[in-house]
Amino acid sequence: MTYARILGTGSFLPEHVVTNADLASQVNTSDEWIVSRTGIRERRIARAGETTCDLAERAARQALDAAGCVASDIDLVIVATTTPDRVFPGTACLLQERLGIHGPAAFDVQAVCTGFVYALAIAEKFIRTGSTKRALVVGAETMSRIVDWNDRSTCVLFGDGAGAVVLGAGDAPGILSSHLHADGAYKELLTVAATEPLQGAATGHITMRGNEVFRMAVTTLDALVGETLAANDLRQTDIRWLVPHQANIRIIAATAKRLGMAMDQVIVTVDRHGNTSAASIPLAFDVGVRDGRIQRGDVVLMEAFGGGLTWGSVLLRY
């Protein structure tokens, strides 16, 4: 039996830090409002001309190094992004070219904040069937390009960044299970409308019915966690680390409570990164690995919720 396991991780954040105080000088908000409602204190914003692929490349190179791989070892590239450099080719193709990988399959996954979970689940299935030996899976976003910087209800929430993993074939798991869901009936809760004519990625701005998204996130993630535990015949105490999508500390805390986990078993980056959409889980995972909290053999639950609506989880042994 072939399994998929994470061989190495990497991440990258743009240099420019935007604090809540910076935003309060632009729109009618305050550090107190943002921290108490979301847990966010600052976020990174890409400089002019710095694209999603630029961030992805930095994270990918770090993940390749950590995995002890060279680019030619990679036989599948998947980039999860909502903010691609171009309508086409996919950012995965642009990244492949930057890394000097020629020939293997490369494609993007668009599942908004759940994108990385979708991408990891897809890569795992390629590896399980034997068609892929080493996959590069990246979540990368420049959400700042689709944020309306005059809309205080959304502009305080998002940030830019990238995270990556190299997934390799092995004799033992690895990824234990993945659970992917979507329901397009909720498409209007969280959306970016394309403008006419379609002019590339940054065609419109994020609109969100925040309260409804919040309520849906808490109830949906509650059910998702139950589904993931049941599928693996696990108890809550078998999970060592929760690596959630970093949208809002109150949603994260509700999921941790559902799992009976203390907050020191949760990798939290939302305070420093904001919501980086598809990049948030691989960024948080890399932070936890590099600071030594997540150790080889630990059971880790990743879960995400986002536009679509989409939601999903991956349970893995690191």
Catalytically active residues are 113, 245, 275
Comparison of 60 and 304: residue with beta carbon closer to ligand ACO = 304
Comparison of 25 and 211: residue with beta carbon closer to ligand ACO = 211
Structure tokens of 121? 């689940």
Helix (H, G, I), strand (E, B) or coil at 24: helix
Structure tokens of 83? 């903010």
* Smallest gap from residue 40 Cβ to ligand ACO (A): 9
**Piece in contact with ligand ACO (CB under 6 A), picked from 67-75, 219-227, 229-237, 304-312:** 304-312
Place of tokens 């770090």: 62
Task: Check: CB of residue 139 under 8 Å from CB of residue 116.
Answer: yes
* Smallest gap from residue 248 Cβ to ligand ACO (A): 4
Task: Check: CB of residue 154 under 8 Å from CB of residue 206.
Answer: yes
Comparison of 33 and 107: residue with beta carbon closer to ligand ACO = 33
**Piece in contact with ligand ACO (CB under 6 A), picked from 117-125, 234-242, 285-293, 300-308:** 300-308
Buried (b) or exposed (e) across 43-81, using 16+ Cβ within 10 A? bbbbeeebbbbbbbbbbbbbbbebbebebebbbbbbbbb
**Piece in contact with ligand ACO (CB under 6 A), picked from 93-101, 121-129, 243-251, 280-288:** 243-251
Site for ligand ACO in 64-103 (CB under 6 A): none
* Smallest gap from residue 115 Cβ to ligand ACO (A): 9
Among 217, 229, 242, 266, binds ligand ACO (CB under 6 A): 217
Among 153, 177, 191, 203, binds ligand ACO (CB under 6 A): 153
CA separation for the pair 256, 271 (Å, rounded): 17
Site string for ligand ACO, 23-52 (x = CB under 6 A): ------x---xx--xx--------------
CB atoms within 10 A of CB 170: 14
Comparison of 30 and 232: residue with beta carbon closer to ligand ACO = 30
Among 274, 282, 306, 312, binds ligand ACO (CB under 6 A): 306
CA separation for the pair 175, 194 (Å, rounded): 36
Task: Determine if 152 is a binding residue for ligand ACO (CB under 6 A).
Answer: yes
Among 190, 224, 270, 316, binds ligand ACO (CB under 6 A): 190
Among 79, 113, 121, 225, binds ligand ACO (CB under 6 A): 113
The dihedral over CA atoms of 151, 153, 154, 158, expressed in degrees to the nearest 10, equals 120
**Piece in contact with ligand ACO (CB under 6 A), picked from 11-19, 47-55, 210-218, 282-290:** 210-218
Alpha carbon of 255 to those of 153, 242, 263, 288, 301: distances in Å? 23, 9, 10, 18, 11
Give Cβ neighbours of residue 57 (< 8 Å, ≥ 6 apart).
95, 98, 99
Write the single-letter amino acid at 212: E
Comparison of 70 and 194: residue with beta carbon closer to ligand ACO = 194
CA separation for the pair 210, 183 (Å, rounded): 17
**Piece in contact with ligand ACO (CB under 6 A), picked from 47-55, 177-185, 246-254, 265-273:** 246-254
Structure tokens of 236? 């809550």
Binding-site ranges for ligand ACO (CB under 6 A)? 29, 33-34, 37-38, 112-113, 152-153, 156, 190, 210-211, 213-214, 217, 247-248, 251, 275, 277, 305-307
